[in-house]
Chain A
Amino acid sequence: MSFILNEEEQMLRDSAKAFLAQSAPVSALRKLRDESDPVGFSKQLWASMAEMGWTGILVEEDHGGVDMGYAAAGLLLQEMGRTLTASPFLATSVLAASALKLAGTDAQKAAWLPKIAAGETVIAFAVDERARHNPDHVETRATKDGNGFRLNGKKRFVSCGMGADAVIVAARTEDDRINLFLVDTGAKGVERTPRRTVDSHVPADFAFDDVKLDGDALLAGAEDSETAYRHVLDAGRACLAAESLGVAEEAFDRTIDYIKEREQFGQPIGSFQGLQHRAAHLYSEMELARTLVLKALRVLDETPSQAPLWCAAAKAKATAVSRLAGSEGIQMYGGVGMTDEYDIGLYYKRAQAAGEFLGDDSWAAGQVAKLAGY
């Protein structure tokens, strides 16, 4: 396992940086927000991501993807974090693609993975039913009905849910196990409500009222659905941690630039020890987050059996560090940091939202304790 990026990964990162600066700067998020975009992301941007092969980053070449692995997916998300890019990348290309790869049948893979790789579909991934993340708390039920199922229940704050063509839903079957179902968002009995959140994203609340599903809605491939469900969440955590790290890095870089310029008492405020120590502390903490994020991504690619521990650790640290980078940023910007005109506040808001999704730092620390056996 290497902490050094290989040439391919470096090229991917550099091209992502250049592309996002051009096509998805922070002003793009502001535009989506100010125009009250109904889905909260740009379909045109999604199409461009597909052209570059990003949408199929985890999809095997047989199904039209580039299959570069989680480290590559994480690098892309880290750069997206830096520009606060809103897109279905995490929901569709990471979570849904992972679920299909791990738990899909051959037919399901053949039907959906090429569409994901081509950027022709957006698939959301629905987990939580309460305010705080808890993958065990699944009350949504899928009851047997002939060859198919009847789906009943609710899911909250489903990322990219408003723009999704389909949603993968975690539901309990009659044996009380959690299974994954691929549900058409246009099906009868599916109702969704937009929730505009503090970070200018538009997740959806879903209600499933006796939705009739065909038998092939169940992801029932090689891997047991519940095991796959947990592995998908681990992968999502590491990738989301990478986005949080990108959010933290950009907030930090902007803050450092700002305190080098901004003068008070006739000198740059960055010359004051009070701020220097806070900045140096944040830098040190970010070093820890950088390590854990890359470690978790590599573990997913190379030794997936260790993923639960490292993905939880990465999520906990990246969440805490990105919130700290955002709040320290606002503090060091001073009054203007509180204004909508400056971008630093947008970073703080995204740090909070990304931190909450798939388990915040407290939740993830609890997982670490459990996995470590104490």
Chain B
Amino acid sequence: MSLEEFRAETRAWLEANCPKSMRSPIKSEADICWGGRNWEFKSEDQRLWLERMAEKGWTVPTWPKEYGGAGLSKEEAFVLKEEMRRINARSPLDSFGIWMLGPALLKFGTHEQKLEHLPPIARGEIRWCQGYSEPGAGSDLASLRTKGVLAGDHYVVNGQKVWTSYADKSDWIFALVRTEPEAPKHEGISFLLIDMDQPGVTTKPIKLISGKSPFCETFFDDARALVKNRLGKAGEGWTIAKYLLSHERASIVSEAGFGGLNPVTAAQTAGEVDEKGRIADPILRGKVAELTIDGLAFEATMRRVKEEADHGEGVGARASALKYLGTEINKRRHELNMSALGSDGLLWEGDREEDGEVARNWLRARANSIEGGTSEIQLNIVAKRVLELPGG
């Protein structure tokens, strides 16, 4: 089938199958469908939309068919994305299983592991969270101490993870666990898939400066992880973790696509514009113009790097520069939103559902340059791997 035929078929199918209420931009986090054992659909349309898309393999279009995908080529997947965007179709399913674990499983998993875990991710039946950071292991992730001791067909896991997004709502966790205590720190870590529905796993939410938070602490107290659910060899977890982090960075970067409120509309909303519609404060206007230029530059750079990658030049460690730039620019945007709104931006609680959202988003954005590797870590990577500066 040619790409044009594929486009026509896709368009017709989407027209026929995407429910009307799923054709508008998501307004808040409540509109996102995460799936999982305990998921309650927000509407019948949300359920229908997920079922129909999963049936086609279009929740994970490029995955092989036997693992729940549609086996589409990159070009076809891009057409699907364009056609979905054309009608403002919402993503039928968002999950760390799709963004992070899936790519790692596809690359490092055995056929049996893929068959067991990928299709439930594609259908939204199992919701995953990521167990990487620990209280003593943030930027220096490889110093983690959660330990797993081999006992027959399983590991006994003890320790604590932190910043596990949505751990309280997830079914399984993919975690980095120290299984070879005698090995050098990067070589003693294994990548384990752990069912959270067992007595040894507990979670506790963490409250953030933005007032709400998806983050939790996760505790393992003699929890069990079957050896067959270890991805890769024992002690090979760091390699997998690094691969997975590059996917996480890419997804944080693409989230930094600059939709939503911008400082210009913020200034207009607050009435802080002159008779020509220009931002009244000339210094704020200048800052916004600089942000506009960097925003245009960033979006075009994402396209350039993608084009270069398709052309065989590879992205590699340049992803770190993009993560750094994207998240720093996004923080600036939220800061300027707040400045442009003045005291209106300070609203924390009110009568309407969206009251407080601007301030919460502003506070949430502070984490962009911390999560997925801090800006400083990204700069380290650029310095060492792109610029090849000598090690300290």
Contacts and interface: CB of A to CB of B under 8 A. Distances in A.
Contact of A284 (B293, B303, B325): B325
Dominant SS among interface residues on chain B: helix
Given A2-B307, A369-B286, A273 B382 contact: no
Nearest to B264: A374
A374 B277 contact: yes
A3 B379 contact: no
Contact of B382 (A280, A294, A295, A313): A280
A48 interface: no
A66 to B, nearest CB: 26
A369 B378 CA distance: 31
A268 B391 CA distance: 9
Contact of A259 (B264, B286, B382, B389): B389
Contacts of B324: 280-281, 284
Interface in A1-17: 2-4
Interface stretch (B76-84, B215-223, B294-302): B294-302
A203 to B, nearest CB: 27
B273 interface: yes
Interface in A245-278: 256, 259-260, 267-268, 270-273, 275-277
Interface string A50-84: 00000000000000000000000000000000000
B304 interface: yes
A365 B286 contact: yes
A372 interface: yes
Given A280-B382, A284-B321, A295-B300, A4 B389 contact: no
Nearest to A373: B277
Given A277-B379, A362-B286, A365-B290, A283 B304 contact: no
Interface in B283-315: 285-286, 288-290, 292-294, 296-298, 300-301, 303-304, 307-308, 311
A368 B293 contact: yes
Contacts of B290: 316, 365
Nearest to A310: B296
Nearest to A284: B321
Given A4-B308, A316-B293, A374-B279, A271 B389 contact: yes
B321 A313 contact: no
Contacts of B288: 369, 374
Contacts of B388: 260
Contact of A291 (B273, B301, B386): B301
A288 to B, nearest CB: 4
Interface in B148-183: none
Contact of B303 (A3, A368, A373): A3
A289 interface: yes
Contacts of B277: 373-374
Contacts of B278: 369, 374
A370 to B, nearest CB: 8
Contacts of B380: 273, 276-277, 280
A288 B301 contact: yes
A297 to B, nearest CB: 13
Contacts of A283: 321, 382, 386-387
Size category of the A interface is 35 or more
Contact of B390 (A3, A268, A288, A292): A268
A310 B391 CA distance: 39
Contacts of A366: 286, 289
B332 to A, nearest CB: 13
Among B264, B279, B293, B383, the most chain A Cβ lie within 10 Å of the Cβ of: B293
B18 interface: no
Contacts of A362: 286
B390 A374 contact: no
Contacts of A372: 264, 289, 292
Nearest to A289: B297
B71 to A, nearest CB: 28
A287 interface: yes
A317 interface: yes
Interface string A332-374: 0000000000000000000000000000001001101100111
Contact of A280 (B279, B322, B387): B387
B390 A284 contact: no
A268 B383 CA distance: 14
Nearest to A370: B278
A280 B382 CA distance: 6
Contacts of A316: 290, 293
A3 B285 contact: no
A291 B307 CA distance: 12
Interface string A151-185: 00000000000000000000000000000000000
Contacts of A365: 286, 289-290, 293
Interface centre among B288, B296, B384, B392 (most CB of A within 10 A): B296
Interface string A277-306: 101110111011111101100000000000
Most chain A Cβ neighbours within 10 Å, of B290, B376, B387, B392:
B387
Given A366-B286, A368-B292, A374-B277, A280 B300 contact: no
A281 B379 contact: yes
A373 B267 CA distance: 13
A234 to B, nearest CB: 15
A279 B383 CA distance: 7
Contacts of B301: 287-288, 290-291
Interface in B226-253: none
Contacts of B11: none
B269 to A, nearest CB: 13
A216 B294 CA distance: 44
B305 to A, nearest CB: 8
B318 interface: yes
Nearest to A2: B307
A316 B264 CA distance: 20
25 contacts: A3-B308, A260-B388, A260-B390, A267-B390, A267-B392, A268-B390, A271-B390, A272-B392, A275-B389, A276-B383, A276-B387, A277-B379, A280-B382, A280-B386, A284-B325, A287-B318, A287-B321, A291-B300, A317-B293, A317-B294, A365-B293, A366-B286, A368-B289, A369-B279, A372-B292
By Cβ-Cβ distance, the 10 closest A-B pairs, closest first, are A276-B383, A280-B382, A288-B297, A280-B379, A3-B304, A365-B289, A369-B289, A291-B301, A270-B389, A284-B321
Interface of B: 264, 267, 273, 277-279, 285-286, 288-290, 292-294, 296-298, 300-301, 303-304, 307-308, 311, 318, 321-322, 324-325, 376, 378-380, 382-384, 386-392
Given A276-B387, A372-B264, 4 more contacts: A268-B390, A369-B278, A369-B285, A374-B279
